[in-house]
Copies of this chain bind each other. A is one copy, B any other.
Amino acid sequence: MIRTAILGASGFVGAELLRLCASHPELDPVRLFGDSQAGLRLDAVHPQLALAYPDLVIERYAPDLLDGIDLVFAALPHGHSQRIAPDVIARDIPFVDLGADFRLSSAEDYRTWYKEEHAAPELLSRFVYGIPELHREAIAASKTVAAAGCYPTSAILALRPLIDLVDPDTIVVDAASGVSGAGKGLKDETHFNSVDENFTAYGLLTHRHTAEMEMALGGRLLFTPHLAPMNRGILATCYAVARGPCDPLATLKAAYADEPFIHVSERPPSTKWTFGSNAVHLTARYDARTGRVLAIAALDNLVKGAAGQMIQCANLMLGLDEVAGLSRVGVCP
């Protein structure tokens, strides 16, 4: 078994990593790190994990506790993993980070979008951007992967194969996310009574995931995220002006024909088909009336948009079966 440490174990992504590890044949979570909840038993923080991990306790992070560890997952707010990455790299442990810290290739872009100096800019070039469908070999060859964000994964998977068909400077990404994307912290915006029976937009013009999408797709794009009254799921509806008549559905089908987690179909996808799984469902259209391409992606923000993608990357990095521990079937209904 692969001795696995999880930083950020008390959050939603931490819990999801633990859920997925519980049915993974190789990954064995042996160290859980958390900050405010250090010292608590895991089942006090995540009761749904009580039967699978009756004995785990959340610890406060210290570098020495990484000794003997075979794999590190980090699911921390941005700004944190750039401080911890040197500890992991020094020990030569395979490291999959979900923070934004190592996703952008330039420290300047990081400063622009995250409004702070990067603490370890010299490490940026070591990290591979973690979307296996686009960077499979590079991930397999690397020890440091920055798993892509939830929104970018959806928009990039929908648009990347279509990018030659459109003008990338005309891309609009309009996406809706379930509330778990906002994390477990207590905020007015995520109080049940704020969200339930509500639909709203946020982060107008300024959402940081724009930077990742632009890095992967080229061009200047406008991204508007929305909050939908549901636990999980992202649906990204993407628009771009076509260079000419085209068949984007056929292009997507061809691009992803051999992908284990991607399904392309004419039917508009539902986030629910992906709930709890690593699946992505895609469709696309060319609209002759307006000369636009429309592409839509659905995924589970906590799985393919976070913990599942991390495990898929780790499987590649460790030479395991890429699909180990990952479901392709949404929990539905």
A180 within 8 A of partner (CB): yes
Taken together as a complex, chains A and B put the C-alpha atoms of A330 and B275 apart, in Å, by 12
Across the interface, which residues of B come within 8 angstroms of A199, CB to CB? 176, 178, 228, 230, 233, 235, 270-271, 298
Q: Determine if B331 and A331 form an interchain contact, defined as CB atoms under 8 angstroms apart.
A: yes
Contact A184 B191 (CB under 8 A): yes
8 A Cβ contacts from A125-159 to B: none
CA of A119 to CA of B172, assembled, Å: 40
Contact A333–B174 (Cβ < 8 Å): no
**Are A331 and B279 closer than 8 Å at their CB atoms?**
no
10 closest cross-chain pairs (CB), A and B: A193-B333, A48-B330, A186-B186, A198-B272, A51-B328, A48-B273, A174-B174, A200-B270, A48-B332, A276-B331
Each complex incorporates copies of this chain amounting to 4
CB nearest neighbor in B for A169:
B290
A190-B194 Cα distance, complex, nearest whole Å: 10
Q: Identify the stretch in A1-9, A97-105, A258-266 within 8 Å (CB) of chain B at 4 or more residues.
A: A258-266
Q: Decide if A192 touches B179 in the complex (CB within 8 Å).
A: yes
Instruction: Assess whether A251 is interfacial by the CB under 8 Å rule.
Output: no
The verdict on A195 contacting chain B, using a C-beta distance below 8 Å, is yes
Query: Min CB distance, A10 to chain B, in Å?
Result: 11
Interface residues on A, range: 35 or more
Contacts of A23 in B (CB 8 A): 23, 327, 329
Answer whether residue A216 sits at the interface, using C-beta atoms and an 8 A cutoff.
Answer: no
Contacts of A283 in B (CB 8 A): 204
With an 8 A cutoff between CB atoms, is A232 at the interface?
yes
Q: Among the listed B50, B220, B279, which residue makes an inter-chain contact with A51, where contact means beta carbons less than 8 Å apart?
A: B279
Q: How far is the CB of A42 from chain B (nearest CB, A)?
A: 11
6 pairs of residues in contact across A and B, judged by CB atoms under 8 Å: A23-B23, A48-B279, A51-B263, A204-B296, A239-B239, A275-B331
Report whether A47 and B192 are in contact in the complex, using a CB–CB cutoff of 8 Å: no
Chain A, residues 235-279, CB within 8 Å of chain B (1/0): the string is: 101010000000000000000000011010101111111111101
Q: Mark A208-232, 1 if CB is under 8 A from B, else 0.
A: 0000000000001110101011111
Q: Is A294 interfacial (CB-CB < 8 Å)?
A: yes
A19 sits at the interface (CB 8 A) = yes
